[in-house]
Structure 1
């Protein structure tokens, strides 16, 4: 078996391997999605390792580059994402070999930590490789019982072309948060939400002070309005935000609203309900020996940790 860095020329074979190993599942595999995630990412192209046997691609491991900001200092990170092993070669330690080798490579490139949200099947393997459980993301829920009796659900769209001036202000403003948040590099908001090929993200804004990004999702509990992110400037009118949020909840016909208990409560004080530990399990893998990520004041949004 030969392990090497993945290249642009490998992408078609990588997509085929992902489909063969994982199926389409909840997230369809495509070159467009791969390029959006691993090539166009404003934090930089993803470090990728592939394993070959006799010229055949049999394994893939990718880390998505990310960057956080804390007390004015950027923290370089990666999110452990796409991985697959050919069915004929599973159970031979290829996943572990690829993951551990890629950790060493990104360490030499200045990456300080790796995070991810593994499922119950993959969590034990990550723990054996040095990952630590941070815990489940706390979630705030707010139920809109009136929607159960309402048949009026307006269709509405968000005009992303109307907000570049606000986004420019948001992405150029120095972070003053006392918690760790995603670093808003220029181009991040459009890349993460407008250009995402998987979900139809919408927003509500006053065009001047804040941008609240959400998506509507139908599931077994009813229609969910998921608050994915909220970016804002100083002197924000919280009453206006609450009023706008109530309006889009009504228009969407959402049965319930969900949001990260760390993100909105930390920033906007838009407390919807008591925090419940029902969000995705977050695991962390420290690389910088001087960094203890479990003890840091994280303020993840749901958009930070969604699977994509």
Structure 2
């Protein structure tokens, strides 16, 4: 039987779809052998501090054959105004239903529904393969996110340069620093660190509740290295270790430090204690001494919903805003 796009029903996903959606994602994305995947989806889409992810499905004769979700997010402008947002994340099409435009139909339906609901903007960092599809649906390239690195030794620099492959999803074990999943459930600790978060430009709406959620998924093994273990008001780094080819990479998702000297000292201390080959982070400021890697950061793409994205120069993202999702 020949199936056409007209044979499909596009609708909002609901709780009864969860099992079928997870099976579709596992099959389409090759996650069948990942024991962390169901809990990861739960953390990302239903425990998110910004709210439950809205999602849409394509259905053919009661069979879910396509899925698209947008992860809820929120930003603050330089003037302090809150802007609701979503991030285009998980999507999958049943291999038997390729070529029917399911990705495009689900995405445009989501965009229409979110706009009517009053959500502000959508953003993501699609790869080279998927970016053209987004651009055809009204997304625009905003800017290349400025990435920086700091090698630990000359030998580490060589390993970094020869390990240009995708990083592992799950983290390596380390005892350096504090387990962030525990330390940041103390909202006083989180609040003290967030005093050093950017207060100008267009940035994620970082609250203590956000920081606690963002670091809570245990397989990611986020660590908190404080400048002063007895006083989080002195600042700290949040990081995790992951393998990238032969290199051990320290991905720093938050640089919550009061000044350049503290940031540089903490970054060097983290590298020396973990023996990571290098640190990588977004260069939102020079405070941690990162060396810029021009042309190597992901391309940020945006689309207006009920609001307009800010100019490219106003964005102040961190690796915590971009990785994983």
- Number of the residue aligned with 1:90: 98
Against the structure 1 CA distance between its residues 27 and 187, is the aligned structure 2 distance closer, same or farther, given a 3 Å change threshold?
A: farther
Against the structure 1 CA distance between its residues 198 and 93, is the aligned structure 2 distance closer, same or farther, given a 3 Å change threshold?
A: farther
* Superposed displacement of residue 121, structure 1: 1.3
| Equivalent pair of 1:139/1:275 in contact (CA under 8 Å) | yes
* Superposed displacement of residue 104, structure 1: 0.7
Give the Cα separation in 1 of the matches to 2:174 and 2:106.
48
Give the Cα separation in 1 of the matches to 2:146 and 2:196.
27
1:82 partner SS: strand
* Superposed displacement of residue 264, structure 1: 3.2
1:168 pairs with 2:191: yes
Against the structure 1 CA distance between its residues 106 and 29, is the aligned structure 2 distance closer, same or farther, given a 3 Å change threshold?
A: farther
Give the Cα separation in 2 of the matches to 1:237 and 1:135.
26
- Number of the residue aligned with 1:52: 59
* Superposed displacement of residue 76, structure 1: 0.8
Aligned counterpart in structure 1 of residue 126 of structure 2, from 109, 118, 133: 118
| Equivalent pair of 1:139/1:279 in contact (CA under 8 Å) | yes
Aligned counterpart in structure 2 of residue 241 of structure 1, from 245, 257, 263: 263
Give the Cα separation in 1 of the matches to 2:51 and 2:198.
24
Against the structure 1 CA distance between its residues 91 and 198, is the aligned structure 2 distance closer, same or farther, given a 3 Å change threshold?
A: farther
Q: CA RMSD in A?
A: 2.6
1:17 pairs with 2:17: no
Aligned counterpart in structure 2 of residue 253 of structure 1, from 272, 275, 279: 275
1:6 pairs with 2:13: yes
2:233 partner SS: coil
Structure 1 portions without partners, runs of 5+: none
TM superposition score normalised by structure 2: 0.82
- Number of the residue aligned with 1:65: 72
Give the Cα separation in 2 of the matches to 1:26 and 1:75.
38
| Equivalent pair of 2:116/2:306 in contact (CA under 8 Å) | no
1:274 pairs with 2:297: no
| Match runs of 1:1-308 below 5 Å | 1-24=8-31, 30-70=37-77, 71-145=79-153, 155-156=175-176, 158-160=178-180, 161-163=182-184, 164=186, 165-170=188-193, 177-193=199-215, 195-205=216-226, 206=228, 207-220=232-245, 222-232=247-257, 236=258, 238-261=260-283, 263-265=284-286, 269-288=287-306, 291-295=308-312, 297-308=314-325
* Superposed displacement of residue 89, structure 1: 0.8
1:254 partner SS: coil
Structure 2 portions without partners, runs of 5+: 1-7, 158-172
Give the Cα separation in 2 of the matches to 1:300 and 1:19.
30
Against the structure 1 CA distance between its residues 202 and 162, is the aligned structure 2 distance closer, same or farther, given a 3 Å change threshold?
A: closer
2:263 partner SS: helix
Runs of 4+ in 1 over 6 A off after TM superposition: 25-29
Give the Cα separation in 1 of the matches to 2:298 and 2:309.
21
